[in-house]
Amino acid sequence: MSGHFPFSGKANRVSVFAFFEAHDWGLEAQEKYFEAWYQWTKDYVMNDADLKAAKGVLFSSDHFGTHADHDFHLHGYAVATRMLDLGETIKGSILPKLDHDMLHALEHDHEEWIAAANAVAANHPRPEAPEIGRYRHV
């Protein structure tokens, strides 16, 4: 099902960022991945009359989510936080409407989005994390 999406379950910005780290994606690859989800979500919302009425306004500006373009803690969490905001919309409003075949198609698309982000990562490798010791959040 959809358990492998970074916003599934009890996700937060740290777990979404961990998804990005596990794929070894720098900011460019993270952006590519986010943009794929954003476009898919926007298209779905705008083609569903109920969701368009309820959520269409979320897609009316250049930025998405409460935390658009804000970074938290260590540098690099901005895309993860936007992905979490978008993921909450997907998880709460779209996934419940999808039948088995639609979820399967989404999982297939998701694999393609990961491959596209991996291609970007190959050209723009993630910089090495600085050594900041045991208390990484401090």
Total domains present in the chain: 1
pLDDT at 121 over 70: yes
What 3-state DSSP class applies to 25?
Answer: strand
Amino acid 83 reads: M
* Inside any domain, residue 136: no
Percent of the chain whose pLDDT exceeds 90: 54
Question: What does the alpha-carbon distance between residue 48 and residue 31 come to, in Å, rounded to a whole number?
Answer: 26
* Inside any domain, residue 7: no
pLDDT at 1 over 50: no
pLDDT at 57 over 70: yes
* Inside any domain, residue 6: no
Question: What does the alpha-carbon distance between residue 65 and residue 78 come to, in Å, rounded to a whole number?
Answer: 11
Angle between helices 13-22 and 27-46 (to 10 degrees): 120
What 3-state DSSP class applies to 125?
Answer: strand
Return the ∠ at Cα 2 (arms to 37 and 117), rounded to 5°: 40
pLDDT of residue 93: 93
How high is the mean pLDDT of the chain? 84
pTM, 2 dp: 0.84
* Inside any domain, residue 39: yes
Which range of residues forms the domain containing residue 36?
Answer: 13-123
| Cα end-to-end span (Å), the chain | 36
